[in-house]
Each structure stands twice: as C-alpha cells, then as structure tokens.
A and B are shown apart, each in its own frame.
Chain A
Amino acid sequence: MAWTRKILRVNLTQGTCTPEALNMAWARDYLGQRGLASKYLAEEIDPRVDALSPDNKMIMTTGPLTGTAASTSSRYSIVTKSPLTGAIACSNSGGFFGAELKNAGWDMIIFEGRAPAPVYLFLHNDRAELLSAEAIWGRSVWETDHWIHQRHQDPQIRVAAIGAGAEKGVLFAAVVNDLHRAAGRSGVGTVMGSKNLKAVAIRGELGVGNIRDPEGFMKAVVDAKAVLAGNAVTSAGLPTYGTQVLMNVINEMGAMPTRNWREIQFEGASAISGEAMHEPRASDCKPNLVRNAACFGCTIACGRISTIDPSHFTLRGEGRDRYKVASGGLEYEAAWALGSDTGVSDIDALTYANFICNEHGLDPISFGATVAAAMELYTMGVLTQAHTGGIALDFGNAEALCTLAELTGRGEGFGLEIGLGSKRLCARYGHPELSMTVKGQEFPAYDARAIKGMGLTYATSNRGACHLRSYTVASEVLGIPVKTDPLATEGKAELVKAFQDATAVVDSTGLCVFTTFAWTLADIQPQVAAACEGDWSMEKLAEVGERIWNLERQFNLDAGLTAADDTLPPRLLKEPANTGPAKGHVNELDQMLPEYYRIRGWTEDGRLKPDLRERLGV
C-alpha cells in the first residue's frame, strides 16, 4: 500500500476541509505525486482556465515512498496550472514538509477556489483548520515560519509558505518549506498567493505504515542505499560540493551560459564554484560552506549550509542580523543564474541573493535569468535608469543584483517588472528574441549549443525550459548510464524520451531524482514493488512514465499550446557558441524534433495519435 489512501480537499472559497478516499484506480495507473496529482488536475480543471483565477486548483502531493525509510524519501510536489507558462506545472521540493504531510496521514491536499481573506491551513493529523493570516500577509517566508511556530508554541511544526512577491503577482514565486527548500519553478507560489493562502503548517504524528511487504521493503531499501554509498557522485561528489560540483566541469566543456547566453564560458566560474565554497576567506578564516545537510531520509546530503563573509557589503547597516547566520547556500542552478548568467562573480553577493530568494520565495533560476535579460536590454540602451529607478544594470553589478532580489522579493518598484519574467519583460521592451525561455519559463544552466540533447529537452519539456524533465547531461557529459557525444544530434530523440519517461516515474514515487546519478529504475522498482500493492514491474513503471508524459502533453495541448511552442530562442538556433569545445555550434533542434515526435507516437504537429491515446488510456 504505502499510500495513506486519504486526500484532503480544501475549498478556500467556502472555508471547508473535507477528507476523501484516494482514487486507487488512478493510483494504479499514475503511482503517486507528479503522475497522480497531474491526473487529478487534468480531471478537475479546464486546462484553459486563467492560472490565477479561483478556477485553477493547487495540489500538494506526496508519493507512496514519501516519509518511508527509503533514501531521499522527502519529496513532495505542487501541481497546478502555471501562470508563467500557461502549461501544467509540477514543482518538486525536499526538506521535511512532505514527509510531515504523509506522517499526518495524507497523500495529498487539493486546494480550490480563493479565500475571501488571507488564511493559512493548520493540519495536525486528522484536524484541519483554516486560520486567519491577516497578521502575516505581506510578510516574508522566514517571518511567516517564525510567526506560526510562535503562535502554535510547537517547534516541531513544518511550514511551507509564500512571500510578498507571490501575493503581488511576481510570476516566478516559489513555495518555500523548512526555510530554504523550495517548490521553485513555474510560479506555483504565485498560484498560492492568488488563492489568498499564505502558508500550510503541518504536524504529523501518525507515521507512515501500510507497507505491503515490510521485510522485503527494508531489504530493498538497504540494498538501494548501498548503491548510493558505493557511487562516487552520490557518496563523495554531491555531499562534498553539492550540485555545485558541476560548475567547473560545465564551464570547462564550454556549456556554461554566460551574460544572458551571449557567451558560453564564464571567466568567474571558479570563484563561484563548489570548490570556492570550501576556501577560507580573509576576514574570518572561515569558508562560505558551514556543512552539508540532508533532506528527510536522504543518505546523499547534497544540501549546502552557508554563511556570508561578515565583511561583505550585504551585511553592512541596520537590520542585517538575519543574514549573519547560517542558512541555505548555493546550489549549482542558483549559482549559475544569479552568477554566470548576470556576470556576477562575487560569491557572497550570490549567497546573499540566494538567501533573499529563500526568504521571500523566489525561483532563483527565473529571477537570475530575468535580471540577465534586463542587463542585456540595459547594455543596449533599451532599458535605462529612468526605468530601473536609478539602478545601473550593467552585467557583473553585484549591488544591482542584490537590490533587485530585495525589490522583487517584496514586490516593489522595478522588482515588479523583473517579476514579469524574462519573456514578458523582453516583449514589453520590444525585444522578445532576447528572452532565454521556452514556453515562458527561463532556461537552467546548460547551454544547448554544447549539449545538444538539452536543446530537445528544453523544447519539449511539459513545464517549459527545465533540466529536471530529462537530464541528458547525465549521459552526454557524465556518461550515466552510457556516454553519448554532447555535440551529436543522432540518437538524442530516443535518449530524451527515455529520460523523460523514467524521470516521470521517479517524480511519482516520493524519491529524489538526484538518486539517478547512481540508481536506475531497476534500483527503484524493488522498493516500489515491496511497498505498494499491485503490479509494479519494470514494464509497468515504464508504461506509467510514458502515460504521465502524455497526460501532461495532452493537458498542454488542451490549454492551447501547440507544436510551435516546442522551440528554442533564436540565439540558440542561430548564434554559434563563441568559445570552447562547442565553438561554432548552434542547436540543430530541427534535426531532432521530428524524430522525437515520431518516437513518441505523435503526429507531425505534435499531437497524440489515437492508438497511443488508447494504449495509455489518456
């Protein structure tokens, strides 16, 4: 079993909290978390709804292995329609909140409607209450977390919350749980804000049981942990350097997008790398990195806990105490977006900007990438200080980056324009071609001119540009599970489909996709099969992954997206890489996309063929 078989339906308009049984027929087809919540969303909303209207729904969902002893069992997802992309959104987060939801006895919470005044949900096992959040509306995630713990006098409550930016419509607002873990992408926090829902606070004491074969499950769990412990990436690289282990690797291979993707290698990469986070600084002889930290149940522990250099400009002045302590440090994506993409190589400025993204609930990828686009517009003279409120938006300006993080986080001044995201900002100033986005979502940290499969990954991702939908970097750069040539397009359609389907399964279990540096589905399958009743063979899981991908695709088509949205910005298709091993290369998406559609069983215009629809039951 492993599912609690219970979902909580919260109607914010009416102020009701109603338990109902999990649809087990759907669970057998979609497993849990990403897959199962996407099925609920597709069944319950019209894909054409305005994402910020009360007609949209927001689902917080765990997987069957969330909260169990399986390694990395922390994961939960937020599934909704995205205001940034207009596509289906599924943002995944770790920390401790997801396991707490499961421990309280729930597989998922479906939020619908819009509260007439700001509220937060307090969930203590079976008891669910909507309480007034008037006192914390407009406050930060960190203040909200503190206020809830004080009010309920219980340090063991886990909180997920939004900041002021989300309330004011910043389109890439995140939901942040446990102070610095985030359901980061696609503006899921903006949807939460539109529902007048400030936070979800949970205390779960019921535990996670219902394991179909406890003995078999514990054996599978121990075996799978041994695989993680025996793999160099998951036992050494990630705990030591976090995802930042990639910074120097990706820069050296010339796949590090720099200054809004005008360049492909960053001269400041080593200064903001995982290695740099270990270097003692002059002021206090301490390194940026305090230690690594794990999410619930994780035996990898890639999380970064960092401090800012006490002599840094961001700590000067009044009211800075909350930034003088240890908090969530730089992951590779944040370091890239806040750093390389904006040309800022000041690691303390990046750490500060990252703290601000956590404190106020911003997606650091979309935020950094939008600042980078604004910097290019400023360099061209299209944006001026008259627009920015006097901020000199030159590439490399660390002060400007930090100021914009504060303004965007609070939803003030020019921060509200940054909060539009890169696509809308660039369109507003007459240069849509400078927006480095797909379907309106900003790119992550891998240049598709140097890693060809990532071009197809971005173009076809169901939530807009994203590295976590099919991380072909694993194969094209790291040789996992097999090495492919990053500069070749042959075979990439097949590779992307395989990664997309497998990742959809991982995202539906409650486990973390970072395990797949070491695990394949063959390591995950025995854990799922021992925990969950029903047929969970390798063949079944492969089918479930394909079904989830096609369900998401169908949602997007029904929402009005078309094959024309499966594309890349002209910069990647026409402007060749200017340095490094990929010099002279563009991304030949046109060589991969038709093949991809064919392998998917889609028509030439990217629609599901009837026989595919019938086979998968989508």
Chain B
Amino acid sequence: MLRSLHIDPQKCTGCLQCEMACSYENEKVFNPAKSRIKVFNFHDEGRFVPYTCTQCAEAWCLHACPVEAITKNKLTGAMEVADSVCVGCKVCTIACPFGTVNYNETTGKVIKCDLCGGDPACAKACPTAAITYVDANFTGLERMRAWAAKTSAGARA
C-alpha cells in the first residue's frame, strides 16, 4: 500500500518535534534549520501549520532537474535526491510550486523530504497526530470518519 504524509493543522501545537526528528534522522543533529518539514506559526490567528513535500505524482522538481538527480522511489512514492549526482544548480527549487525543495549551503546539494525511506520520523515524533503516515489513496478517511460520526449522531437525535 502506498502511503503519504497527511497533515491536520488543527491538531498542531507548534512544538517542532517534527523538525527535530527530521533533522536528527537526516543530519544526526537536532536542528530545525536543516529540517525538510517546517511548522509555520500564523501568530495573529493562533494557527500552526506543518508543511512539507507532498510527493507530486508528476513532480516538477524531477522534470526540471538537468542532471536527473531526482528520481521516484517506486516503493514509497518519494522523489529522492541523489547527492552523488546533484550539482546544486537549484533549478528544482525554482520549479517546485510549493517551496519544499531547498538548497543546503553546507553540502552544496538540495534537500527535500524523502519519507525517510518509508518510515517518516516526523510522523512518529508528532505528539498530537497532526502528522500521520496513511494510505495514500484514502488520506481523507479520518476526516470522513469524523463527519460520519456526526451524521449518525444527528440521525439518532
């Protein structure tokens, strides 16, 4: 079953455990500045929104890369960057409409979410299930379930 990261911003408290888990998994250091997932704080509205690569089926980054450093992992569906091939030209960072591919000054390569090879650390670290790793064909299942529960409660009333 193909899975994908699913984000429910209403559950996010802005703790950044996901950013630390991501940087630790990929860089062996707790460092939000090197995280592939970022949590945005819309302060005046009291909203926190985690955001990362959604692994487009037709990925702009993959098509834009002039050296074919970005390939699709057929098992996880993730677009992965091969560091040995990437030349750091940043064309993919321009091509991505969502801003989720970014350049890493330290390595001279780009970094993006690769779903940790199919076991994403951010989802495991999230204390409120704001980030989950679910059936890619049914990311709406939990939301449907919540509304379904209200619907049946209404019928009983």
List the interface of chain A (C-beta within 8 A of B). 67-69, 71, 96, 103, 156, 179, 204-209, 214, 218, 225, 229, 239, 290-299, 301, 303, 305, 307, 325-327
Residues B46 and A291 in contact, CB atoms below 8 Å apart: yes
B122 shortest CB reach to chain A, Å: 12
Q: Is B118 an interface residue (CB 8 A)?
A: no
For B15, give its contact among A298, A305, A326 (CB under 8 Å): A298
Q: Give the chain A neighbours of B15 by CB distance below 8 A.
A: 294-299, 301
Q: Does B30 contact A (CB under 8 A)?
A: yes
A214 touches B28 (CB 8 A): yes
Contact stretch, chosen from B19-27, B76-84, B109-117 = B19-27
| Cβ-closest chain A residue relative to B126 | A299
| Chain B residue with the shortest CB-CB distance to A68 | B30
Bound form: Cα–Cα A326–B31 in Å: 28
Q: Which of A96, A209, A296, A326 contacts B44 (CB under 8 A)?
A: A326
Residues of B within 8 A of A71 (CB): 17, 127
Let me know if B16 and A325 touch, CB within 8 A.
no
Q: A69-B17, A207-B27, A299-B127 are in contact. Are A103 and B43 (CB under 8 A)?
A: no
Q: How far is the CA of A7 from the CA of B80 in the complex (A)?
A: 39
Q: Which chain A residue lies CB-closest to B23?
A: A207
Q: Say if the beta carbon of B13 comes within 8 Å of chain A.
A: yes
Q: In whole angstroms, what is the CA distance A187 to B31 when docked?
A: 32
29 contacts across the A-B interface (CB closer than 8 A): A67-B30, A68-B20, A69-B17, A69-B21, A156-B33, A207-B34, A208-B29, A208-B30, A209-B29, A225-B127, A290-B46, A291-B13, A291-B46, A291-B47, A293-B13, A293-B14, A293-B46, A293-B48, A294-B13, A294-B15, A295-B15, A297-B16, A299-B15, A299-B17, A303-B13, A326-B43, A326-B46, A327-B43, A327-B44
Number of residues of chain B lying within 8 A (CB) of chain A: 26
Q: Residue B53 at the A interface, CB < 8 A? A: no
B88 contacts chain A at the CB level, 8 A cutoff: no
Interface class of chain A by DSSP: loop
Q: How far is the CA of A67 from the CA of B31 in the complex (A)?
A: 8
When distances are taken between beta carbons in the complex, the residues of chain A under 8 Å from B142 are: none
Judge whether B125 is part of the interface by a CB distance below 8 angstroms: yes
- Chain B residues 14 to 70 lying within 8 A of chain A, measured CB to CB, are 14-17, 20-21, 23-24, 27-34, 43-48
A297 CA to B29 CA in the complex, in Å?
Answer: 14
Q: Which residues of A have CB within 8 Å of B48?
A: 293
- Contact partners of A299 in chain B: CB under 8 A: 15, 17, 127
Q: Is the CB of A205 within 8 A of B30?
A: no
* B127 touching A205, Cβ below 8 Å: no
What is the CB-to-nearest-CB distance from B137 to chain A, in angstroms, rounded to a whole number? 30
What is the chain A residue whose CB lies nearest that of B38?
Answer: A156
Measured in the bound complex, the distance between the Cα atoms of B20 and A240 in whole Å is 25
A550 to chain B, nearest CB (A): 33
Distance in angstroms from A485 CB to nearest chain B CB is: 35
- Bound: A411/B119 CA distance, A: 55
- Nearest-neighbour CB distance to chain A for B103, whole angstroms, equals 13
Asked if B44 and A325 make an inter-chain contact with CB atoms under 8 angstroms apart, the answer reads: yes
Tell me the bound Cα distance from A229 to B125 in angstroms: 12
Alpha-carbon separation in the docked complex, A312 to B32 (Å): 39
Closest residue of chain B to A306 (Cβ to Cβ) is B46
Cα A402 to Cα B14 with chains together (Å): 30
The CA-CA distance from A50 to B54 in the complex, in Å, is 58
